[in-house]
Amino acid sequence: MATVLNTQFGIDGHLVFKMDASGLIVAEINNELGSASLCLQGAHLMSWQPKNQAVPVVWLSTDAKLAAGKSIRGGAPVCWPWFGAHATESGFPGHGFARTVPWRVIESGTEPAGETRLTLRLTPSDKTRAQWPHECTVDLTVIVGATLRMEMRTENTGTTDFEIGEALHTYFQIGDIGAVSVTGLEGSEYWDKVGGSNLRKQDAEITFTGEVDRVYINNEAECVIHDEQLKRRIHIAKSGSLSTVVWTPWVEKATKMGDMGQPDGWRQMVCVESANAIENVVKVAAGCTHTLIVEYRAVSV
Ligand code: BG6
Protein backbone atom coordinates (compact mmCIF):
# COMPACT_ATOMS: atom_id res chain seq x y z
CA MET A 1 0.00 0.00 0.00
CA ALA A 2 2.81 2.46 0.88
CA THR A 3 4.44 1.59 -2.46
CA VAL A 4 1.29 2.46 -4.40
CA LEU A 5 0.95 5.75 -2.51
CA ASN A 6 4.59 6.62 -3.14
CA THR A 7 4.14 6.00 -6.86
CA GLN A 8 0.95 8.06 -7.05
CA PHE A 9 1.56 10.86 -4.54
CA GLY A 10 5.19 10.71 -3.34
CA ILE A 11 7.40 13.74 -4.01
CA ASP A 12 11.14 13.05 -4.43
CA GLY A 13 12.60 13.07 -0.95
CA HIS A 14 9.96 15.57 0.24
CA LEU A 15 6.96 13.30 0.75
CA VAL A 16 7.33 9.61 1.52
CA PHE A 17 4.68 7.15 2.73
CA LYS A 18 5.80 4.47 5.18
CA MET A 19 4.00 1.64 6.91
CA ASP A 20 4.37 1.72 10.69
CA ALA A 21 4.81 -1.49 12.74
CA SER A 22 1.08 -1.18 13.58
CA GLY A 23 0.22 -1.50 9.88
CA LEU A 24 -0.92 2.14 9.67
CA ILE A 25 0.49 4.39 6.95
CA VAL A 26 2.37 7.55 7.90
CA ALA A 27 3.22 10.35 5.45
CA GLU A 28 6.64 11.83 6.20
CA ILE A 29 7.27 15.32 4.87
CA ASN A 30 10.65 16.99 4.84
CA ASN A 31 11.56 20.04 2.74
CA GLU A 32 13.94 22.99 3.03
CA LEU A 33 11.47 24.86 5.24
CA GLY A 34 10.20 22.27 7.68
CA SER A 35 9.29 18.69 8.46
CA ALA A 36 6.10 16.95 9.54
CA SER A 37 4.49 13.54 9.80
CA LEU A 38 0.86 12.61 9.37
CA CYS A 39 -0.94 9.33 9.99
CA LEU A 40 -3.52 8.52 7.33
CA GLN A 41 -5.82 7.07 9.98
CA GLY A 42 -7.63 10.12 11.33
CA ALA A 43 -5.67 12.46 8.99
CA HIS A 44 -3.74 12.92 12.21
CA LEU A 45 -0.81 15.34 11.95
CA MET A 46 1.67 13.96 14.48
CA SER A 47 4.57 16.41 14.28
CA TRP A 48 5.71 19.68 12.75
CA GLN A 49 9.06 21.43 13.10
CA PRO A 50 10.08 24.42 11.02
CA LYS A 51 13.80 24.39 10.12
CA ASN A 52 14.35 27.62 12.05
CA GLN A 53 13.27 26.01 15.36
CA ALA A 54 15.49 23.70 17.42
CA VAL A 55 12.46 22.13 19.13
CA PRO A 56 9.25 20.85 17.44
CA VAL A 57 6.27 23.21 17.55
CA VAL A 58 3.69 20.42 17.63
CA TRP A 59 3.93 18.10 20.66
CA LEU A 60 3.63 14.33 20.45
CA SER A 61 3.58 12.25 23.64
CA THR A 62 6.60 9.99 24.11
CA ASP A 63 3.94 7.33 24.89
CA ALA A 64 1.97 7.97 21.68
CA LYS A 65 0.95 4.70 20.06
CA LEU A 66 -0.36 4.00 16.60
CA ALA A 67 -3.14 1.42 16.61
CA ALA A 68 -6.07 0.74 14.30
CA GLY A 69 -9.22 2.49 15.53
CA LYS A 70 -7.43 4.40 18.32
CA SER A 71 -6.61 8.09 18.56
CA ILE A 72 -2.98 9.18 18.94
CA ARG A 73 -1.98 11.25 22.00
CA GLY A 74 -0.61 14.54 20.73
CA GLY A 75 -0.24 16.13 17.32
CA ALA A 76 -3.41 17.59 15.86
CA PRO A 77 -6.37 15.24 16.25
CA VAL A 78 -9.29 16.04 13.95
CA CYS A 79 -12.46 16.32 16.04
CA TRP A 80 -15.49 15.95 13.77
CA PRO A 81 -18.56 15.85 13.36
CA TRP A 82 -19.04 16.67 17.03
CA PHE A 83 -16.78 18.17 19.65
CA GLY A 84 -16.51 16.61 23.13
CA ALA A 85 -19.14 14.12 24.24
CA HIS A 86 -21.96 13.31 21.80
CA ALA A 87 -25.08 15.31 22.75
CA THR A 88 -27.31 12.26 23.30
CA GLU A 89 -25.40 9.00 22.75
CA SER A 90 -22.98 8.28 25.58
CA GLY A 91 -21.63 5.23 23.69
CA PHE A 92 -20.42 7.29 20.72
CA PRO A 93 -16.76 8.35 20.76
CA GLY A 94 -15.71 11.64 22.35
CA HIS A 95 -14.74 14.28 19.74
CA GLY A 96 -16.44 12.29 16.94
CA PHE A 97 -15.16 9.46 14.78
CA ALA A 98 -13.00 11.31 12.23
CA ARG A 99 -9.80 10.87 14.25
CA THR A 100 -10.06 7.07 14.37
CA VAL A 101 -11.20 6.09 10.87
CA PRO A 102 -9.20 5.73 7.65
CA TRP A 103 -8.85 8.72 5.32
CA ARG A 104 -7.46 8.41 1.80
CA VAL A 105 -4.93 10.53 -0.01
CA ILE A 106 -6.40 12.47 -2.93
CA GLU A 107 -3.70 15.00 -3.86
CA SER A 108 -0.15 16.17 -3.16
CA GLY A 109 2.09 18.86 -4.57
CA THR A 110 4.67 21.57 -4.02
CA GLU A 111 3.69 25.20 -3.41
CA PRO A 112 5.54 28.00 -5.28
CA ALA A 113 7.67 28.85 -2.19
CA GLY A 114 8.66 25.20 -1.63
CA GLU A 115 6.10 24.05 0.95
CA THR A 116 4.73 20.52 0.60
CA ARG A 117 0.98 20.05 0.26
CA LEU A 118 -1.01 16.93 1.03
CA THR A 119 -4.80 16.44 0.96
CA LEU A 120 -6.68 13.57 2.59
CA ARG A 121 -10.38 12.81 2.26
CA LEU A 122 -12.94 11.22 4.57
CA THR A 123 -16.11 9.82 3.02
CA PRO A 124 -18.95 8.11 4.91
CA SER A 125 -18.90 4.35 5.46
CA ASP A 126 -21.61 2.09 6.91
CA LYS A 127 -19.80 2.39 10.24
CA THR A 128 -19.80 6.22 10.27
CA ARG A 129 -23.37 6.43 8.92
CA ALA A 130 -24.52 4.41 11.93
CA GLN A 131 -23.39 7.34 14.11
CA TRP A 132 -23.99 10.24 11.72
CA PRO A 133 -26.28 9.53 8.76
CA HIS A 134 -25.36 12.35 6.36
CA GLU A 135 -23.77 12.45 2.92
CA CYS A 136 -20.61 14.54 2.83
CA THR A 137 -16.91 14.69 2.07
CA VAL A 138 -14.33 16.12 4.45
CA ASP A 139 -10.99 17.17 2.98
CA LEU A 140 -8.01 18.06 5.14
CA THR A 141 -5.14 19.82 3.39
CA VAL A 142 -1.85 20.38 5.20
CA ILE A 143 0.77 22.72 3.81
CA VAL A 144 4.10 22.16 5.53
CA GLY A 145 6.87 24.74 5.50
CA ALA A 146 8.18 27.48 7.79
CA THR A 147 4.51 27.83 8.71
CA LEU A 148 1.93 25.05 9.01
CA ARG A 149 -1.41 25.63 7.34
CA MET A 150 -4.32 23.24 7.76
CA GLU A 151 -7.59 23.59 5.88
CA MET A 152 -10.55 21.39 6.79
CA ARG A 153 -13.35 21.57 4.25
CA THR A 154 -16.75 19.94 4.90
CA GLU A 155 -18.99 19.59 1.87
CA ASN A 156 -22.62 18.61 2.24
CA THR A 157 -23.14 16.36 -0.77
CA GLY A 158 -26.64 15.30 0.34
CA THR A 159 -30.07 16.85 0.00
CA THR A 160 -30.69 17.83 3.63
CA ASP A 161 -28.89 20.35 5.84
CA PHE A 162 -26.72 19.14 8.72
CA GLU A 163 -24.86 20.59 11.72
CA ILE A 164 -21.27 19.89 12.73
CA GLY A 165 -19.07 20.53 15.73
CA GLU A 166 -15.35 20.35 14.98
CA ALA A 167 -11.82 21.17 16.09
CA LEU A 168 -8.21 20.94 15.06
CA HIS A 169 -7.17 19.86 18.54
CA THR A 170 -3.51 20.84 18.30
CA TYR A 171 -1.03 20.08 21.09
CA PHE A 172 1.79 22.65 21.13
CA GLN A 173 5.26 21.95 22.50
CA ILE A 174 6.25 24.34 25.28
CA GLY A 175 9.11 24.62 27.80
CA ASP A 176 6.89 24.31 30.89
CA ILE A 177 3.17 24.88 31.43
CA GLY A 178 3.95 27.06 34.48
CA ALA A 179 6.01 29.46 32.36
CA VAL A 180 3.72 30.16 29.40
CA SER A 181 0.81 32.50 28.79
CA VAL A 182 -1.78 32.67 26.03
CA THR A 183 -2.99 36.02 24.72
CA GLY A 184 -5.70 36.92 22.23
CA LEU A 185 -8.77 35.87 24.20
CA GLU A 186 -8.99 38.85 26.58
CA GLY A 187 -12.60 40.04 26.79
CA SER A 188 -13.94 36.77 25.38
CA GLU A 189 -16.62 34.64 27.07
CA TYR A 190 -15.91 30.97 27.72
CA TRP A 191 -17.58 27.83 29.02
CA ASP A 192 -15.45 26.64 31.91
CA LYS A 193 -15.57 22.82 31.90
CA VAL A 194 -13.65 22.44 35.16
CA GLY A 195 -15.95 21.90 38.15
CA GLY A 196 -19.24 22.04 36.22
CA SER A 197 -20.05 24.11 33.17
CA ASN A 198 -20.12 27.84 33.82
CA LEU A 199 -20.03 30.81 31.49
CA ARG A 200 -17.22 33.19 32.44
CA LYS A 201 -15.36 36.12 30.97
CA GLN A 202 -11.61 36.23 30.31
CA ASP A 203 -10.19 39.43 31.82
CA ALA A 204 -6.48 39.11 31.14
CA GLU A 205 -3.96 36.82 29.47
CA ILE A 206 -4.30 33.12 30.35
CA THR A 207 -1.74 31.58 32.71
CA PHE A 208 -1.75 28.05 34.12
CA THR A 209 -1.64 26.94 37.77
CA GLY A 210 -4.05 23.99 37.58
CA GLU A 211 -6.34 22.11 35.17
CA VAL A 212 -7.75 24.37 32.45
CA ASP A 213 -10.50 23.15 30.10
CA ARG A 214 -12.29 26.06 28.47
CA VAL A 215 -14.30 26.63 25.31
CA TYR A 216 -14.00 30.30 24.33
CA ILE A 217 -16.91 31.28 22.10
CA ASN A 218 -17.77 33.84 19.45
CA ASN A 219 -14.16 34.81 18.86
CA GLU A 220 -11.96 34.37 15.81
CA ALA A 221 -8.98 36.29 17.23
CA GLU A 222 -5.39 35.20 16.61
CA CYS A 223 -3.96 33.61 19.76
CA VAL A 224 -0.32 33.68 20.80
CA ILE A 225 1.47 31.28 23.15
CA HIS A 226 4.31 33.15 24.89
CA ASP A 227 7.00 30.71 25.98
CA GLU A 228 9.67 32.11 28.30
CA GLN A 229 11.74 28.91 28.47
CA LEU A 230 11.88 28.07 24.76
CA LYS A 231 12.17 31.78 24.05
CA ARG A 232 9.57 31.83 21.33
CA ARG A 233 6.01 32.80 20.51
CA ILE A 234 3.64 30.48 18.67
CA HIS A 235 1.03 32.35 16.63
CA ILE A 236 -2.28 30.67 15.88
CA ALA A 237 -4.30 32.45 13.20
CA LYS A 238 -7.59 31.07 11.94
CA SER A 239 -10.74 31.58 9.93
CA GLY A 240 -14.06 29.70 9.82
CA SER A 241 -13.67 28.97 13.55
CA LEU A 242 -15.55 30.90 16.24
CA SER A 243 -14.49 28.78 19.23
CA THR A 244 -11.06 28.33 20.78
CA VAL A 245 -10.48 25.55 23.27
CA VAL A 246 -7.64 25.93 25.76
CA TRP A 247 -6.73 22.77 27.64
CA THR A 248 -4.12 21.46 30.04
CA PRO A 249 -4.98 18.33 32.05
CA TRP A 250 -2.61 19.09 34.98
CA VAL A 251 -1.14 16.35 37.11
CA GLU A 252 -4.18 14.41 38.39
CA LYS A 253 -5.98 14.07 35.07
CA ALA A 254 -2.71 13.46 33.18
CA THR A 255 -1.86 10.61 35.56
CA LYS A 256 -5.31 9.07 35.00
CA MET A 257 -4.94 9.41 31.23
CA GLY A 258 -1.73 7.41 31.47
CA ASP A 259 -0.37 8.24 28.00
CA MET A 260 1.10 11.71 28.44
CA GLY A 261 4.66 10.47 28.20
CA GLN A 262 7.95 10.85 30.05
CA PRO A 263 7.55 11.90 33.68
CA ASP A 264 5.52 15.10 33.57
CA GLY A 265 5.14 14.99 29.79
CA TRP A 266 1.93 16.98 30.27
CA ARG A 267 3.99 19.98 31.44
CA GLN A 268 5.55 20.29 27.97
CA MET A 269 2.26 20.73 26.12
CA VAL A 270 -0.69 23.03 25.89
CA CYS A 271 -3.68 22.64 23.57
CA VAL A 272 -5.04 25.69 21.79
CA GLU A 273 -7.73 24.24 19.57
CA SER A 274 -9.41 26.03 16.68
CA ALA A 275 -12.98 24.85 16.89
CA ASN A 276 -16.69 25.34 16.34
CA ALA A 277 -18.35 24.03 19.49
CA ILE A 278 -21.40 24.49 21.72
CA GLU A 279 -23.29 27.54 20.36
CA ASN A 280 -20.81 27.84 17.51
CA VAL A 281 -21.67 24.53 15.83
CA VAL A 282 -21.98 25.12 12.09
CA LYS A 283 -24.97 24.47 9.87
CA VAL A 284 -23.89 23.25 6.45
CA ALA A 285 -26.79 23.53 4.00
CA ALA A 286 -27.34 20.88 1.32
CA GLY A 287 -24.88 21.43 -1.52
CA CYS A 288 -22.79 23.92 0.52
CA THR A 289 -19.30 23.85 1.97
CA HIS A 290 -17.79 25.08 5.23
CA THR A 291 -14.02 25.56 5.66
CA LEU A 292 -11.98 25.93 8.85
CA ILE A 293 -8.43 27.18 8.28
CA VAL A 294 -5.55 27.51 10.76
CA GLU A 295 -2.05 28.78 10.24
CA TYR A 296 0.69 28.32 12.83
CA ARG A 297 4.07 30.05 12.99
CA ALA A 298 6.80 30.18 15.60
CA VAL A 299 8.83 33.33 16.21
CA SER A 300 12.01 33.24 18.30
CA VAL A 301 12.27 36.11 20.79
C1 BG6 B 1 -10.19 18.73 25.05
C2 BG6 B 1 -11.40 18.69 25.94
O3 BG6 B 1 -10.54 19.33 23.85
O4 BG6 B 1 -9.74 17.39 24.80
C5 BG6 B 1 -11.05 17.96 27.23
O6 BG6 B 1 -11.87 20.01 26.19
C7 BG6 B 1 -10.48 16.57 26.92
O8 BG6 B 1 -12.19 17.87 28.05
C9 BG6 B 1 -9.32 16.71 25.95
O10 BG6 B 1 -10.07 15.95 28.10
C11 BG6 B 1 -8.69 15.38 25.53
O12 BG6 B 1 -9.64 14.55 24.96
P13 BG6 B 1 -9.28 13.07 24.51
O14 BG6 B 1 -10.59 12.45 24.13
O15 BG6 B 1 -8.34 13.18 23.34
O16 BG6 B 1 -8.63 12.42 25.70
Q: What is the CATH number of the domain that holds 181?
A: 2.70.98.10
What is the structure's pLDDT at 71? 98
Query: How far, in Å, from the CA of 245 to the mean position of ligand 1?
Result: 10
- Using DSSP's 3-state secondary structure scheme, residue 220 falls into coil
What is the structure's pLDDT at 195? 83
* 289 CB-contact burial (10 Å; exposed 0-12 / middle 13-18 / buried 19+): middle
Query: How far, in Å, from the CA of 56 to the mean position of ligand 1?
Result: 22
- Using DSSP's 3-state secondary structure scheme, residue 121 falls into strand
Q: Which residues contact 105 (CB under 8 A, 6 or more apart)?
A: 5, 8, 9, 17, 27, 40, 118, 119, 120, 121
**297 within ligand 1 shell (Cβ under 6 A):** no
Distance of alpha carbon 110 from alpha carbon 116, whole angstroms: 5
Count of domains for the chain: 1
What is the structure's pLDDT at 196? 85
pTM for the structure as a whole: 0.98
**227 within ligand 1 shell (Cβ under 6 A):** no
* Contact between residue 75 and residue 58 where contact means Cβ atoms under 8 Å apart: yes
Name the catalytic one among 273, 279, 290, 295.
Answer: 273
Closest CA to 34 of 116, 91, 153: 116
* Contact between residue 177 and residue 248 where contact means Cβ atoms under 8 Å apart: yes
Q: Please report, as a single letter, which amino acid is at residue 29.
A: I
Q: Which residues of 239-272 are buried (b: 16+ CB within 10 A; e: fewer)?
A: ebbbbbbbbbbbeeebeeeeebbeeebbbbbbbb
Q: Looking at the chain, how many residues does it have?
A: 301
Known catalytic residue: 169? yes
Beta pairing partners, 284? 162
Query: How far, in Å, from the CA of 283 to the mean position of ligand 1?
Result: 23
What is the structure's pLDDT at 197? 84
Known catalytic residue: 226? no
Mean residue pLDDT of the chain comes to: 98
For 20, the domain range is: 2-300
223-280 pLDDT tens trace: 999 999 999 999 999 999 999 999 999 999 999 999 999 999 999 999 999 999 999 9
What is the structure's pLDDT at 170? 99
What is the structure's pLDDT at 1? 85
**281 within ligand 1 shell (Cβ under 6 A):** no
What is the structure's pLDDT at 10? 98
**273 within ligand 1 shell (Cβ under 6 A):** yes
Structure-derived torsion over alpha carbons of residues 210, 215, 219, 221, reported in degrees to the nearest 10: 40
Q: In the chain, which residues have pLDDT < 70?
A: none
